[in-house]
Structures are given as structure tokens and as C-alpha cells.
């Protein structure tokens, strides 16, 4: 009887598994193998995010336990003139840098796609800066912006009798100077992505358009740009996030005075870094991080919505 009872218990279990289709069994096994990586990724990715939200409601300097202060850090943020200056700098990087970089990248990719001689070599030259570390690029450009006899640009200007420019030491020229560096550093990646998008457009569209008598300008407006929409949407969102999170170029190019004269080039990420690791005001830094996260989310969703409708 005992043996029979064991058999009765085991059979339904086997039959329950056998009732699943092969497709369902594959799905169950797939999720079984993916469960551990998903849990691990969710823990290391989302736990710090939720922790940052919690810390933003506290007063914490690492040395003492965190004390809950409610919305005090956010109230401080709203009434902090330095934050609004940094906020304006960050959106200047975004609003000016993103369209300029995309237009330049598209023009380079559009004409580079027509080059056949040494095409791969030229493409690699454009992509090379993207592979170089941001710190190295920043220090090279910092050297370029130096006064004579060190600085390359001021050396060229002096040849034409033009006075030396302060560039990084100026409250008006510092931000554009850093923006040029950031655009140049990311240009290679954008060119490669645009080239991939151009190569993905079937040549039959262009052949049919030329048979119908369309010129190059009309082909660009009616075929190339519309079919590049998915590529453009990706690069707009990707580049916008990059400019909103700009840090390496600013930090390394203005290391003597982080953020430039009077904070004229300081972005939000640099302010977060200084608040957390110079002032050790972790609660206030976390509040700034939450604000940056919200800005990134809103800007990305807004861009996706607007570009999708168009």
C-alpha cells in the first residue's frame, strides 16, 4: 500500500508537466535560466536608484546616520541660485550641442557614403576620437586652448594679428569651447550610425527616383531623410542624454577651477559630484540626482513622442 501511495503521488506530478506544450516548456526553461541574471541586474540597477530617492529626503554626511528631513533638500534646491545657473548651463549644452552635432554628423556621413577611395580608413579616422578616453581628449583640447606659445589656436590667431582669446578662462567663451570638444569627441559615433542608416536604405528607391527625374535635393528630402527617421530618433535621444550628463570634458578641461570661472561651464553632474564628494552633503546631492533623472526621463519621452508623430 505504501508503494502504491508513492506511485499515486508521483504520477500526477509527471502528468502535470506532460500537459504543457513543448513551446510552454521552452518558455519555462528560458525563464528559469534567466531568473538569476534578471534578479541580479534588478538588484544592482534599481536598488541604488530607489536608495537615491530615499537619501534625497534625508540629511546625511556619511559620518553620522541619515536623518529624515522630508522635502527640505528639494526646497533648498529650488532656492539655490547656483543650481539654476548650472541648470541653465546644462540645457545650453543640450539645446545647442545636440542639433549642431547631429547636423555635422549627417553631412559628414552623407558625403562620406559617396566616397569609395579609402572609405574605411577615413571612417576609422572619424571614429578614432570616440575610442579615446574622455580625459585624454579633454587634456589635448585644454592644451589647444592655451595662450601662446603653447596653445595651437591662439598661435594661429596671432599669425593674423588677432588678439589672444581666453577661451576656458572666460565666462562667455568657456562653455562654447567645451561644447566644441564634446561635439568633436562624439562625432565619430554619430557618423558611423548615420552611415549604417544610409547603407540600410535600398538602392532601388534611389534608382526609381532618378528614373522619375528627381534631383539630389528632392531625393534627400523625400527619400533619405524620411527613411533615416529611426536612426535620427535614436541619435537624438542618445546625444541628448550624453549632453545632459556631460562631465568628463568639463572636469578635466577646468581642473584648476572646476566648472570654469564663476561656474560658467558647470553642468548638473559636476555639481552633484562636488556636493557629494567635496561638501559630503549626500542628501542634497541625491536630490540633485533625482532632479537630473527626472529631466532625463522627461526629455527622452518628449523627444520620442514628438519625433514619432512627425
> What dihedral do alpha carbons 172, 177, 183, 184 form, nearest 10°?
170
Same domain, 50 and 178: no
Over the stretch 137-177, which tens digit does the pLDDT of each residue have?
999 999 999 998 889 999 999 999 999 999 999 999 999 99
Domain total of the chain: 2
Confidence label for 5 from pLDDT (cuts 50, 70 and 90):
very low
Q: Whole-angstrom Cα distance, residue 55 to residue 53?
A: 6
pLDDT of residue 262 exceeding 60, the answer is: yes
Same domain, 22 and 148: no
Establish if 167 belongs to a structural domain.
yes
Same domain, 92 and 30: no
pLDDT of residue 13 exceeding 60, the answer is: no
Same domain, 50 and 83: no
Confidence label for 62 from pLDDT (cuts 50, 70 and 90):
confident
Average pLDDT, the chain: 89
pLDDT score of 2: 46
Same domain, 49 and 116: no
pLDDT score of 285: 96
Confidence label for 7 from pLDDT (cuts 50, 70 and 90):
very low
Same domain, 236 and 305: yes
Establish if 67 belongs to a structural domain.
no
pLDDT of residue 12 exceeding 80, the answer is: no
Same domain, 163 and 276: yes
On the CB side of 234, CA atoms within 13 Å amount to 12
pLDDT score of 309: 59
Over the stretch 70-115, which tens digit does the pLDDT of each residue have?
999 999 999 999 999 999 999 999 999 999 999 999 999 999 998 8
* CATH number, residue 172: 1.10.3720.10
Provide the grid cell at 294: 527626472
Establish if 88 belongs to a structural domain.
yes
Which residue segment(s) compose the domain that 45 sits in?
Answer: 2-55
Establish if 207 belongs to a structural domain.
yes
Same domain, 119 and 50: no
Establish if 103 belongs to a structural domain.
yes
Same domain, 104 and 164: yes
Same domain, 11 and 46: yes
Q: Whole-angstrom Cα distance, residue 261 to residue 177?
A: 13
Amino acid at each position: 500500500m505504501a508503494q502504491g501511495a508513492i506511485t499515486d503521488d508521483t504520477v500526477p506530478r509527471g502528468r502535470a508537466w506532460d500537459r504543457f506544450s513543448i513551446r510552454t516548456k521552452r518558455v519555462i526553461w528560458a525563464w528559469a535560466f534567466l531568473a538569476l541574471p534578471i534578479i541580479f541586474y534588478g538588484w544592482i540597477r534599481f536598488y541604488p536608484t530607489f536608495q537615491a530617492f530615499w537619501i534625497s529626503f534625508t540629511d546625511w554626511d556619511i559620518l553620522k546616520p541619515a536623518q529624515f528631513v522630508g522635502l527640505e533638500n528639494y526646497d533648498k534646491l529650488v532656492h539655490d541660485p547656483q543650481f539654476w545657473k548650472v541648470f541653465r548651463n546644462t540645457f545650453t549644452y543640450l539645446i545647442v550641442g545636440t542639433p549642431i552635432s547631429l547636423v555635422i554628423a549627417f553631412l559628414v556621413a552623407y558625403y562620406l557614403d559617396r566616397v569609395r577611395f579609402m572609405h574605411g580608413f577615413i571612417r576609422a579616422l572619424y571614429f578614432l576620437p570616440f575610442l579615446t578616453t574622455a580625459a585624454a581628449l579633454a587634456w589635448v583640447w585644454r592644451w589647444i586652448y592655451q595662450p601662446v606659445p603653447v596653445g595651437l589656436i591662439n598661435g594661429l590667431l596671432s599669425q593674423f594679428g588677432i588678439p589672444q582669446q581666453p577661451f576656458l578662462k572666460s565666462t562667455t567663451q568657456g562653455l562654447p569651447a567645451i561644447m566644441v570638444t564634446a561635439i568633436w569627441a562624439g562625432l565619430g559615433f554619430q557618423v558611423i550610425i548615420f552611415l549604417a542608416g544610409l547603407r540600410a536604405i535600398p538602392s532601388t528607391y534611389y534608382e526609381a527616383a532618378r528614373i522619375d527625374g528627381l534631383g539630389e535635393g528632392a531625393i534627400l528630402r523625400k527619400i533619405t531623410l524620411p527613411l533615416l527617421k529611426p536612426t535620427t530618433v535614436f541619435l537624438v535621444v542618445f546625444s541628448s542624454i550624453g549632453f545632459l550628463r556631460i562631465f568628463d570634458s568639463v572636469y578635466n578641461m577646468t581642473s584648476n577651477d572646476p566648472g570654469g570661472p564663476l561656474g560658467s561651464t558647470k553642468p548638473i553632474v559636476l555639481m552633484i559630484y562636488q556636493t557629494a564628494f567635496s561638501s559630503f552633503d549626500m542628501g542634497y546631492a541625491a536630490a540633485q540626482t533625482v532632479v537630473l533623472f527626472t529631466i532625463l526621463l522627461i526629455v527622452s519621452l518628449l523627444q520620442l513622442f514628438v519625433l514619432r508623430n512627425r
